[in-house]
Amino acid sequence: MTMGTIIWKEMKERPTALIASLLAIILSVTALVAIRNVTIFSEQEVAGKLDELGANVLILPEGVTLQDYYAADMHKETIPEEHVAELALAGLTGVEAITPKLCVPTKLDDRNVILTGILPQSEIQKMNAWSGGGMLFKKHEGCKAKINVADENLDAPDSLAERRALQHLNQSEVLLGSDFAASKGLKEGDQLQLLGETFEVLSVLPSTGTVDDSRVFAHLHTVQRLSGTGPVVNIIEVMGCCEDVANGLVGELQSLLPGTKVVTIANVVETQVSINRMMTNLSYLFLAILVAVGGASMASASFANVIERRREIGTLMALGATPRFVTQLFLAKAALLGLAGGISGYVLGSLIAVLLGPVFANVSVFPVPSLAIVAATVAVLVTLAASYFPARQASRLDPCLCFKEV
């Protein structure tokens, strides 16, 4: 038998009292872990988005609000296609690609499909060449990013999926999103009828996991002609070579194209960033609650436990327990409780985060093991601090009270 036996048996005797004293700690650790867990994944997503789309600037009609980056062109408002030429002629530094898009909903057999018109880069470069002006694609000074200027290797139609720009596309060709192609059983070289015209499938795009997978891409001018919209687009995507450029471009583009709305990916994730900041602050709040409320309830439970066990403590002292032993007895119990509270809080919090993260923060969440260490450490420190004075009181009890007749 060891001190551990005493601690363990005493705790087993009164499990409900333990849970009650730990409740505040378990609940606040739960909240802390859940919030941190969701925040971690939300921050990762923001970082991922910035990484993936960081250099992109969207030029939209003024009245459009941006919800989903990938569906930014799915709206009915338009801007004149002339803007594309203005951009091409302006020769902005650090621009890698300019992709105007126009979306028209249509049907293939009975399936709804978004026909998206895009202008290939080769034609934009031509505009620039006609003007005899400067280069369209020039690297800005000090740019560390590798610039994808009309690289022959990036000529493949598949690059649309990754770079969101395309070098060549004929007026009678289409590119198919992977989901759409799969649902229609279409492959490269097949023919299909859209808006009364026959197209040849140039390529099926690799899957991206975005709405692009269920689109059909055709030449902008073909789409404009068939849908009778005239020379308009829904969006112009401008890809800068790096994030600095993208952010710097906003001002230039705004003054170049009044009457449009210029948005960077940083703007797109802004709400998420501010939610993350709020959640981080919230987690500090819960930490404070954990320390204050959890500590106070633990302290009062420990004091009650000491009072309740006075005779037992006196007896242990009569049997030769030193004050140091008594202190250790209560502190070890507190640490054990803190550990249990921290771990159960971690388990509950992770569960809540995994279940509710997708609902509230729109990110998929997985448990983070390192949070268990943080949760357990914080909970143990709180219970230890809360039990310090009760433990000291216990060690200073008068052992003579074991002689008292009940």
Burial class, 5, CB count within 10 angstroms (exposed 0-12 / middle 13-18 / buried 19+) = exposed
Tokens representing residue 225 in the block: 């002609």
Residue 19 CB, shortest distance to other proteins, in Å, is 17
Please say which residue, 69 or 325, places its beta carbon nearer to other proteins.
Answer: 325
Provide the minimum distance between the beta carbon of 406 and other proteins in the complex, in angstroms, as a whole number.
Answer: 6
Which residues of the chain form contacts with other proteins (CB under 8 A)? 1-3, 5-6, 9-10, 12-13, 311-312, 314-325, 398-400, 402-406
Is the CB of 156 or the CB of 304 nearer to other proteins?
Answer: 304
Nearest residue (CB) to other proteins, 314 versus 390: 314
Other beta carbons within 10 Å of 382? 28
Nearer to other proteins, 144 or 404 (CB): 404
Cβ neighbours for 24, distance < 8 A, ≥ 6 positions apart = 290, 293, 294, 296, 297, 298
CB 61 within 8 A of CB 260: yes
Q: How far is the CB of 405 from other proteins (least distance, A)?
A: 6
Q: Strand pairing partners for 113? A: 106
Distances (CA, A) of 58 to 199, 203, 240, 296, 333: 29, 26, 11, 53, 60
Q: Which residues sit opposite 268 in a β-bridge? A: none
| Choice between 205 and 329, CB closer to other proteins | 329
Beta-carbon contacts of 122 under 8 Å, excluding residues fewer than 6 positions away, are 150, 167, 168
Residue 334: CB minimum distance to other proteins, A: 18
Minimum distance from residue 343 beta carbon to other proteins (Å):
24
Query: Smallest distance, Å, CB 298 to other proteins?
Result: 21
d(C-alpha 253, C-alpha 246), whole Å:
10
Nearer to other proteins, 3 or 20 (CB): 3
